[in-house]
Structure 1
């Protein structure tokens, strides 16, 4: 845990200065970024995530939120409605200051686990990796909206997936990250191999998602994935086609077509 926390803090110290520069140079905070959110909304949301994850590690009270697509949309909308700041210069300064505060508090984290949303408990390392994931994804959202590059380094994406996404799947209810309407009849097991990282079995069964261990001989498909490409595909920022053609994702097995169905079944918050 200590090693992963140190890696996540180091990654944030690398990513946040680029994020701050990106936000500071936003030409139009009213430009649409992702969904109905403007670039200013995304930047403000990022400051809320910094507050949330800092409060978690500091053992301060957290908002009451359900970690599902609908639950987090409601919580995020409430926070954005209470915070009308959309000035890129001020939000950039806020992100920089909050990042320093987070790093200071994380450097003194000693608890094995801390309270997080929906009565879950996570290692401080997972909280730091969650913050890293949010910076990577929303940095991508802002950069795409303003026509700027936003390269995501493999080891940063790997930390976000192995250090945050997989631990969250493990502790949340198995229905939390699955679209119940689209996945009600979906059953499949996938052997996910993260390039530069480890392997995990993902099992979908009628509206639930669990992680499993053991042999991968009876899976429907194997997926070898570049972590950055996988993260953007899973979160719905890219389709699966181009990463497959580019070799960023490689699939094989008895039923590789089920991977496309999996992407419709997943419902990230």
Structure 2
């Protein structure tokens, strides 16, 4: 099963919207079925209730970027200054769980359902490359990236909640492929650790089975991520199943476990460089 070629961005965005539309009710049911909101989650420092609050904040934030009816006082929420991307997002994550406390946490399911539906309704028919201003990133992203982000947050943090609540939460390869294709190129670029990338020159060929193929080129503190790039020489090729790469990227599955299960492998002229990708691209 090889990587896709010549993908249609409009068709893929519609598939991402459909996947999000299907994932939102799953998340809502998960939030409603929580037996204990104070139980530890898949995120070590957060309870399952904290993760739910973070997801509600994500839905609020992304909905506010596309809907004139959703207003947020970003000046009171955003961290001061223009620090590195990972530090900025980490600070926002810490703030996000404080936006929903007390009785609000008992209604997270309804809030997520309402804002998820609003996001899909307001963006219906918009082009995938429609620019979206994201205040906590300090820049614009495309609607396709925003849709992929909402899907990734739903899937990955849904897993965090399910692990804490000991409830099932499957992530299918098609869903994971859509996240990787829609949001990963932009997010990898934003999340580059420029200090670690200084004086580094590596070209990675990321082959997602049945999904996108990404050329990730790190060159002296900068990175470009290109989908379906023209042929070129690579230092390292990483081949992975979609779900495994998604979970390894977000530090939800150890890379050794994915390798041991045959879900990831490295090749090319310098396969040992594969481990550097996770060090160069940060995760909040």
How far, CA to CA, are the matches of 1:184 and 1:232 in structure 2?
26
Please tell me whether the aligned partners of residues 51 and 97 of structure 2 are also in contact (alpha carbons under 8 angstroms): no
Q: Which stretch of the first structure deviates more once superposed, 144-153 or 202-211?
A: 202-211
How far, CA to CA, are the matches of 2:33 and 2:203 in structure 1?
44
How far, CA to CA, are the matches of 1:247 and 1:30 in structure 2?
35
Partner of 1:227: 242
How far, CA to CA, are the matches of 1:121 and 1:4 in structure 2?
20
Select the residue among 224, 228, 251 that pairs with 2:266: 251
- Following superposition, the deviation at residue 71 of structure 1 comes to 0.5
Select the residue among 198, 217, 231 that pairs with 1:203: 217
- Three-state SS of the structure 2 residue aligned to 1:29 is coil
- Asked if 1:40 is matched to 2:57, the reply is no
How far, CA to CA, are the matches of 2:219 and 2:44 in structure 1?
29
- Asked if 1:153 is matched to 2:169, the reply is no
Q: How many residues align?
A: 263
- Asked if 1:133 is matched to 2:152, the reply is yes
Query: Deviations 1:82-110 (Å, cap 9, x if unpaired)?
Result: 43147664111221122222221121536
Structure 2: segments with no counterpart, 5+ residues: 1-8
How far, CA to CA, are the matches of 1:14 and 1:69 in structure 2?
30
- Following superposition, the deviation at residue 138 of structure 1 comes to 0.2
Select the residue among 70, 91, 101 that pairs with 1:84: 101
Structure 1: segments with no counterpart, 5+ residues: none
Return the TM-score normalized by structure 1: 0.87
Query: Deviations 1:11-41 (Å, cap 9, x if unpaired)?
Result: 1121111111111121221222203111111
Select the residue among 12, 19, 28 that pairs with 1:11: 19
- Asked if 1:240 is matched to 2:255, the reply is yes
- Following superposition, the deviation at residue 69 of structure 1 comes to 2.0
Return the TM-score normalized by structure 2: 0.83
How far, CA to CA, are the matches of 1:159 and 1:16 in structure 2?
15
